[in-house]
Amino acid sequence: MTSKSRLIRRGVVAVAAIGLLTGAAVPTLASNGDRTSSVRSAIKGGTARNVILLIGDGMGDSEITIARNYSKGAAGRLALDTLPLTGEYTTYALTKADPSKPDYVTDSAASGSGWSTGHKTYNGAISVTPDGKPQPTVLELAKKAGFRTGDVTTAELGDATPAVLSAHVADRSCEGPADMANCPLQDKVNGGPGSISEQQVQTGADVYLGGGKARFAQTIKAGPYKNKTVIDQAAAAGYNVVTDAPGLAAAKPGKRLLGLFADSNLPLEQTGPLAKVGGTEPARCTPNTAFTGPHLTDMAGKAISLLDAQSAHSRKGFFLQIEGASIDKQDHAANPCGQIGENVEFDKAVKASLDYARHHSDTLVVVTADHGHTSQIVPPTTDSPGQTATLITADGAQMKINYATTKPGVSQEHTGTEVRIAAQGPQAANVVGVTDQTDLFRTLTRALGVVH
């Protein structure tokens, strides 16, 4: 090896070492696009001090492409496109009547239960197996091991994806004490642990931020907090309860935080034409003038800063899940601008998480979805029997979006496709290839060093 070759090799090793120490992405030194060195340096084993799991609900590959095309252009890149290690995972659930058979199209409850507990279950179940047995969740295991924990969503906190981390019920509809018709065994009047909202307070994550204030305002029917609301229960458990953006901004470390920023789901970021049979005229999306904060990025940033501060003097860091929920909800509604706005805001939360990880290289960041959804990009000349809308993208070009998984006027359906999973940090290599949602549970618990 020549002296010049030795110097070049030392330079490559030095750059890789700097990247590993700082958490910065390692740039390739080749001018031909060869990423071998940077991908190799992104592979890290061991444990993580912090884990941030970001879920784009209903964010299949098509939804990502639609958001990218509209906001960045076809050649652009979203923050979620920049994670160095990427794979796909399968999303099927189990058939409730016969758990030996798959249900090829999952809902958010069965899906979330898969990565939260490592067990497949039926659609509608919240972190219980088909026999009704509660299974420990990654958040519960992390909390037991001494990690700080958080759960952030743009949906109701009792909605399926946030619920799977800290509650165990037979049916996802059992969000508040008045909603227990489908969960008699969990109802407190029958000696059970209570509704999803009650269980969330009892599980005691350090930070809960989202919507669902109306559920938490319901009256508890039995137990020590009988005739009080779940908000009263939370206050008695030491939670600082805030209900608006100023309250969130003012929250300080030292107390657990419950943020309830809407009676139901949080408002949408963007508005525009709904898809319809026969299509729409080409249009652009506009900001939602009726939006009341906080944005998902505000909640994500606050959760990260609080959990970081609260774990500053411990060798254990934090586990945090952040969900962009209404990508899914607006896909159901055949509302492309609503869907895109939520996906773009979710991507901002991804960027905030990656910015934190850049200065904390012992942080595992995982970005994925719970299932695919209906929206598809089709040629502008397509004569679809479904509902379509045409948007003018960042490229100045027309993009026609098709919704056709059910008849017009009915909520659009999930699809059974595999979906993207991408990661960086300790254990991130385990998302590469084609895995299953239950494998994510093992990746998360391995990174946290917790044993089930």
For 246, the 3-state DSSP assignment is helix
State whether residue 17 is helix, strand or coil: helix
φ/ψ bin of 274: left (φ > 0), alpha (ψ from -120 to 50), beta (otherwise)? beta
Beta strands at 376-378 and 398-403: parallel, antiparallel or unpaired: antiparallel
- In whole angstroms, what is the distance from residue 103 CA to residue 386 CA? 25
- Choosing from 37, 38, 62, 108, which is the catalytic residue? 108
Backbone angles phi, psi at 444, to 5 degrees: -65, -45
Do 326 and 311 contact (CB within 8 A), yes or no? no
Bond from prior residue into 294 cis (ω within 30 degrees of 0): yes
d(C-alpha 51, C-alpha 428), whole Å: 11
Give the separation between CA 335 and CA 330, rounded to whole angstroms: 5
Establish whether 31 is a catalytic residue.
no
Work out whether strand 85-90 and strand 419-424 pair parallel, antiparallel, or are unpaired. antiparallel
Q: Torsion over CA of 261, 266, 268 and 274, rounded to 10 degrees?
A: -150
- How would DSSP label each residue in 325-374? THHHHHHHTT-HHHHHHHHHHHHHHHHHHHHHHHT-TTEEEEEEES-B-S
The CA distance from 421 to 367, in Å, is 6
* Cβ atoms 174, 124 nearer than 8 A: no
CA distances from 419 to 149, 380, 392, 432 (A): 26, 25, 26, 12
For residue 318, the Cα-to-chain-centroid distance in whole angstroms is: 16
Query: How far is the C-alpha of 406 from the C-alpha of 46, rounded, in Å?
Result: 46
Q: Phi then psi for 358, rounded to 5 degrees? A: -60, -30
The catalytic site residues sit at 108
